[in-house]
Amino acid sequence: LFDQGCHLVILACNTASAKALRTIQQNDLPLIDPDRRVLGVIRPTVEKVGEISRNGNIGIVGTPGTIRSGSYELEIAKLHPTFHTYTQACPMWVPLVENREASSPGADYFVKQEVDRLMAKEPAIDTIILGCTHYPLLYDKIRRYVPESARVLPQGEIVAESLVAYLKRHPEMEAKCSKGGTCSYRTTESPDKFAELASLFIGAPVTATQIDCL
């Protein structure tokens, strides 16, 4: 992405943010270009939780990799030391989305199963983080099985608002960013496969270009 001219990159994936962000920031950026920036999605989400939760009981649903990393627990403990976190891995949710089953009746079983497991750990959970970019496509079903008193947080708007605030704090980076409002999609795998899946999230046809990361 740096070779494509990007000065700031967001790892728009919880698993990548959990497993790779710190290494990239601390080890790679100083060697590649200290003036470039790579940001993640976990910290902005945790910051927002502090504004929303009323009782400090936070639920997190995510991929097995994100949950195993413990990244959310660590960030919440740093920023909100009085909060309690409860996590639930949801291994079937991403396949449901990628196989276009998010709206199917069969998806209800897997969504309810994991939501019930999470709420059984602490019925007083009042804020649930959707810790995966796929999960907003399951939002309506998740909302159906979550208690009305609990807030369900998709990350898209949170990360976008955080980026706006970041650029205001760092005008030198803001000045480097293009303002054309254009979008391009580049992938290291099959562009046809990427375009098919990306169109689910974008809600419109997507054309992707294949690039070589080596």
- Name the catalytic one among 132, 177, 183, 213: 132
CA distance 36 to 142: 37
Number of Cα atoms under 13 Å in the Cβ half of residue 102: 16
Q: What are phi and psi of 4, to 5 degrees?
A: -85, 0
Letter for the amino acid at 148? E
CA distance 204 to 195: 10
Residue 13 annotated as catalytic = yes
User: In 3D, which of 89, 20, 26, 81 has the Cα closest to residue 56?
Assistant: 81
- Name the catalytic one among 6, 13, 177, 213: 13
For 44, other C-beta atoms within 10 Å of its C-beta total: 22
Alpha helix positions (H), the chain: 14-19, 21-23, 29-32, 42-52, 64-69, 71-79, 93-98, 105-121, 139-145, 156-169, 171-174, 191-202
Residue 213 annotated as catalytic = no
CA distance 207 to 177: 23
How many contiguous H segments (helices) and E segments (strands) does the chain have? 12, 8
Active-site positions read: 13, 132
